[in-house]
Amino acid sequence: MKLSFLSVASAILSGLVCSAVAAPAPTSRRVENFNLHWTFTKGPAVGAEAAAFDDSAWTPVRLPHDWAISGPYDPQGDPHTGKLPWRGEGWYRKLFALPASDSGKRVYLDFDGVMANPTVYVNGQKAGGWDYGYMSFRVDATAFVKPGATNILAVHADTREHNSRWYPGAGIYRKVELVVCDPLHISQWGTFVTTPDVSPDRATIRVETTLENHTPTAAEAVVETILLDPKGKEVGRNRTNVTVPAAGSCANTATLSTSKPQLWDITTPRLYTAITRVLLPSTPQTTLLDQTTTPFGIRTFEFTANDGFHLNGRRVQLNGVCLHSDLGPLGMAFNTRAMERELQIMQEMGVNAVRTSHNPPAPELLDLCDRMGIVVWDEAFDKWDGTATLPKGVSIPEHGKKQYTNFVKRDRNHPCVVVWSVGNEIWDLEGLKYPDAPGLLKTMVGFVKALDTTRPVGLAQCVPDSAKSQISAALDVAGWNYGRRYAISRERWPNLPIIYSESASAFSTRGYFDDFQMPKAKDDYPVTARISSYDHNSAWYSDPADVEFALTRLSHDTR
């Protein structure tokens, strides 16, 4: 799908970013790649969670892994999801050893994404799980592991209750990491970097760090924050004494500044680094309990109703794409180089913006956009029901809050992210079928804003008449899909910036140029199984790219 960003939010917002960078240090934190030496079987496997279960006949696999992409295709299957066997259940198992020295440490398993409804077992006991296949989550395995012994990890993935309008893949399709750290440590996604004041001469950097204390007594610590410029030169340092309550947590804020800031931009995607260290106050030079590294960017941006998107004080025309999570014939198993190549090709075509349609992406996608200078509309859901894997008996707000919490905390330090989207084409909301639909949307937007106020929050809409209701009152930006459906929004909410985030949806057969006959209508498809690669055909609800580009220019010229 091709995407055009038109105008867009009102307040100037300043920016941030996060992604893990390995940095050697004498700290108790250890992060291990957990992608190798798994076994897999598709279908039910009674007792597979048990430590003594015999999986010798299972298939050896490495992660990320998508069990459905290899087929077989079902000619009568759902064309929207690739006619591939993604619906079902599967089991993964892995042996791993922990040294005896890990006794007393916290042990976590971090999953970037499992499709779908994963349940995680450690040594035969249920240790945790998740209920949305696109979201990253952590399992606290501390109470279930055996330091000094061999342990068994089993993961059950079940896609039978997940609904999808495109190919979602199946299984542990993103990376897994083992994290071992001191009982006093930095929380997962516990560093939040913002730049509240930015000028050509100076930038203020605010680094908020959340610590966890898993001991029965209060703990004294020193939080040290070190700021590195894009070339790795130290440009700031701060130390603060903190007291973390017993079996509790606390947040510490460090404020630093740097002169002549090097801005993150689509042309010069410069990244600073915040190193956060937790030390014992008695010997701060030698006893380092924990350390994390957070890349971030210094930039300002503004979405306006009448002049589009401004980055670092200048207007930038956003030319974007709606990008689904799968990698085409490679499937859902995430591959960083494949994603990088895809982005490079699109950048050569002029793309400078990506919408993560319609779910949280792999964290590596945002890392790449940070480094390559691509701005991102970061989206949480396609609808709020089956495609969000809404569990039975769980309310939409309850499920939403849980997912938005991980979503925003995970992604809020990426400078590439310039919009949070709470959902896509939520027909029951737009059609006012939910009780108090405006209030429900305000609640969902509020979950996001409770965690980050530095970016606008939007919703991708597709029902034109919904612009006549009050649901737009909760939004900072209005997202619209297809057919100039934004026209009513522009009339009714003239001060609300609009992002035309999903426009052309053309159909073609790749590399087929032999059919030069123009179709009588956009959805007049040829009787053969091939459609001209000149993009003459489109879906009934959209237009071919050239038509959309012309309409976009018309809207721009007459705004």
> Known catalytic residues?
425, 502
Q: Virtual CA dihedral for 440, 444, 450, 453, nearest 10 degrees?
A: -110
Report the phi/psi class of residue 511: left, alpha or beta, with left for phi > 0 and alpha for psi in -120 to 50.
Answer: left
Token digits of residue 156 = 């059950």
Q: Give Cβ neighbours of residue 439 (< 8 Å, ≥ 6 apart).
A: none
Token digits of residue 330 = 């490679």
Q: Which amino acid is at 189?
A: W
Distance of alpha carbon 33 from alpha carbon 175, whole angstroms: 8
Q: The tokens 């002049």 sit on which residue?
A: 307
CB 388 within 8 A of CB 131: no
- Strand partners for 255: 206
Q: Give Cβ neighbours of residue 158 (< 8 Å, ≥ 6 apart).
A: 88, 89, 116, 117, 118, 119
Percentage helix, strand, coil for the chain under 3-state DSSP, each rounded to 5: 15, 35, 50
Nearest to 423 by CA among 367, 365, 466: 466
- Strand partners for 210: 251
Q: What CA–CA distances, in Å, run from 369 to 166, 244, 266, 342, 360?
A: 23, 36, 9, 12, 14
Q: Give Cβ neighbours of residue 232 (< 8 Å, ≥ 6 apart).
A: 273
CB 95 within 8 A of CB 151: yes
**Longest C-alpha distance within the chain, in Å?**
80
Q: Which amino acid is at 248?
A: G
In this structure, what DSSP letter does residue 391 have?
Answer: P
Token digits of residue 462 = 């597709």
Terminal CA-CA length for the chain? 25
Distance of alpha carbon 483 from alpha carbon 188, whole angstroms: 42
Token digits of residue 131 = 């209920």
Nearest to 361 by CA among 349, 377, 373, 348: 377
Q: Which amino acid is at 352?
A: N
